[in-house]
Amino acid sequence: MPIAKYIRCGDADKLSSWFADNLEIAIVSKPCDSSRDQARQIVKTFFSTHTPHSFDITHNTGRSNMRYALGVLNAGGERFMVTIFVSYEQDYFKIQQLKIERGE
């Protein structure tokens, strides 16, 4: 799954192709439900002010129809904790939840 690659590269457009039609997104803020287009714009804005330098998955788990991953994103001179929840929907994996929170 190239999701980690798109986060590492800061490519909001390609990352958003993995978004569910509606998903929960929290980018250094309170979680909110948004459409794929709204979420793409939120992520694009984040990447424009926090250019990614590296992203590493530190933990992942799941079953055949659900995956959960935690990662560390170094972007814009800061460290962020990333949580991604993906489910299998209509023959494709789709991101249902994406959180990017400031790390320690």
Instruction: Tell me which of 85 and 64 has the higher pLDDT.
Output: 85
Q: Does the structure show a pLDDT above 70 at 90?
A: yes
Could you read off the pLDDT of 25-83 as tens digits, one per residue? 999 988 899 999 999 999 999 999 999 999 999 999 988 889 999 999 999 999 999 99
Token output for 1:
């799954």
What's the chain's Rg over C-alpha atoms? Answer: 13
Strands 19-27 and 92-102: parallel
- pLDDT category, 91, cuts 50, 70, 90? confident
CA–CA separation, 33 vs 56, rounded Å? 26
Report whether CATH 3.40.50.300 matches the domain 3-102.
Answer: no
Token output for 86:
């993906």
Please report the pLDDT score of residue 89 as a whole number: 73
81 near 103, Cβ under 8 Å?
yes
